[in-house]
Structure 1
Amino acid sequence: MHARDNGKPTRLLAAATFLAATGFCGALHAQSQKPEGASPGIFTCTDARGRTLTADRPIAECSDREQRELNPSGSVRRKVEPTYTARELQEREDRAREAAIQAARLTDERRRERALLVRYPNAATHDRERAEALAQIDTVTQAAKKRIAELGDDRKKIDEEMEFYKQDPGKAPGAVRRRLEDNTQSVAVQNRFIGEQEEEKKRVNARFDEERTRLKTLWSPQNGGNPR
């Protein structure tokens, strides 16, 4: 039997009933083998032009779309998946892989949100931890500034010794010149360290700002949160 356009769904059931009534017993070929003794079925699909087609075997015009195999009574026996090219199979695999990645990302995001909410159940807790993090940075910054002040006092002593050689600094004792060089390098190191701490404060504030944005949603009454 060749695929034909029924036009109306009611003709499909009539065709199936007719085949059964007339004792149709030709072998039907499908994409998977039917159980031994299974009754003949009929395939149906809607092709790319919108036509409803039926046949006693998988329909070539619908190889790119799902088909249904009907029992003689008109009920659906099974669904036949489209026949995919190698490229189409690869595209399906790529889409499935991307969907799995997105699902994993969503699961991870939900996990991190739950952990964030446990750590910061309200705004006060979040504010307190931000203040503590910034205070720690300020502590090490103050230590660096104190060290710079100490190096400044040492520099005054070194300059006093170098005063005797201001006409020709090259005649200053090697030990004095090394102290001057070490002092200059140490001040540079401490200033660089202070600059790094200022950048760290910016990073800490940026992190807490980002968390705050996410937490506002988690704290919202709709989510049963408590922003206080």
Structure 2
Amino acid sequence: MRHLLVAGLLLFASASWAQEASPGKGIYTCTTPDGRRLTSDRPILECTSREQRVLNADGSQRATLPPFLSPEERAAKEAADRRAAAERLAQLDAARRDRTLMQRYPNEAAHQRARSLALDDANKATRISEHRIKDLGAERKPLLDEAEFYKGKPLPAKLKQALDANDASVEAQQVLIENQKAEIVRINSRFDAELARLRKLWAGAAPGSLPPLTEQPKPAAKPAAPK
């Protein structure tokens, strides 16, 4: 079956070469796997797995006929070619990202300024939540004073609802603070990794030659604080 397939491919190749070649017959020559040198006026069946040179009548080389591949071999080669192309694109992309990183941060001072700015938002959000917790504590005091009148008795629905809402608001702000702490850790980890990479690039490492930066996980989504 493979022999018939190869023969069909050879006939197709012969027709293709006849259309593409200049006038005059081509001379096909190759060396077989066992070392024999063969010559023919058409593609050589014994050399289907090897490269064949196509010569003009004067002995000059007209073209090169690559090895024939079975459908399975061709599929494997195409898959390998796709992988190689993807790797080349990834390499180019990595080099582009490194060059962009170096343009954004030409020195360590510029990188430290960017880190401080990134941390500033998280620190501000933390301070806002801490201030809000203090306000909620102040709001809770008169509610607790009122609750003293109902010791040993069920609290009025309105008072209980106000205390529960105050508790929920404090808890929400505490969650926000924990999220901001996680965000600060993530930001510092990202900038630490960037700085380590930049130091190598500043020292002369070629863009795209270093392992990729590890993506830092984002903190959990922040719940909206009840008002």
Aligned to 2:32: 47
Which one has the largest radius of gyration? Answer: 1
Determine whether 1:183 maps to 2:169. Answer: no
Does residue 144 (structure 1) correspond to residue 129 (structure 2)? The answer is: yes
Letter in 2 for 1:175: K
- Name the amino acid aligned to 1:82: P
Number of residue pairs aligned between Structure 1 and Structure 2: 192
What does 1:150-161 correspond to in 2, within 5 Å?
Answer: 150-161=135-146
Query: Are 1:71 and 2:56 an aligned pair?
Result: yes
Which segment drifts farther, 140-149 or 79-88? 79-88
Q: CA deviation at 1:51?
A: 3.7
| Structure-1-length-normalised TM-score | 0.75
- Kept in 2: contact 1:31–1:58 (CA 8 A): no
> What is aligned with 2:69?
84
Give yes or no for the alignment of 1:119 onto 2:119.
Answer: no
Label 1:159 to 1:56 Cα distance change in 2 as closer, same or farther (>3 A): same
AA paired with 1:219?
A: W
Inter-CA distance 51–211: structure 2 relative to 1 (3 Å threshold): farther
Letter in 2 for 1:114: R
Q: CA deviation at 1:88?
A: 2.1
**1:51, 1:117 → 2: CA distance?**
57
**Which residue in 1 is equivalent to 2:187?**
204
Q: Secondary structure at the match of 1:58?
A: coil
% same residue: 40
Offset of 1:182 from its aligned partner? 0.3
Q: Which moved more, 1:54-63 or 1:43-52?
A: 43-52
Q: Residues of 2 paired with 1:221 and 1:41: CA distance?
A: 53
Distance in 2 of aligned mates of 1:73 and 1:36: 13
The alignment status of 1:102 with 2:54, answered yes or no, reads no
Aligned-CA RMSD value: 2.2
- Segments of 5+ residues of structure 2 without an aligned counterpart are 1-13, 207-227
SS at match of 2:69: coil
CA-CA distance at 1:70 after TM superposition: 2.6
Following TM superposition, by how much is the alpha carbon of 1:73 offset from its aligned partner in structure 2, in angstroms?
A: 4.0
Paired residue for 2:44? Answer: 59
Query: Secondary structure of 2:18's match?
Result: coil
The TM-score, its normalising length taken from structure 2, stands at 0.75
Alpha-carbon distance between aligned partners in 2 of 1:222 and 1:207, rounded to the nearest angstrom? 20
Give the distance between the partners of 2:190 and 2:77, measured in 1 at CA: 38
Match of 1:215 among 178, 189, 198: 198
Separation (CA, whole Å) in 2 of partners of 1:213 and 1:51: 58
One-letter identity of the residue aligned with 1:149:
K
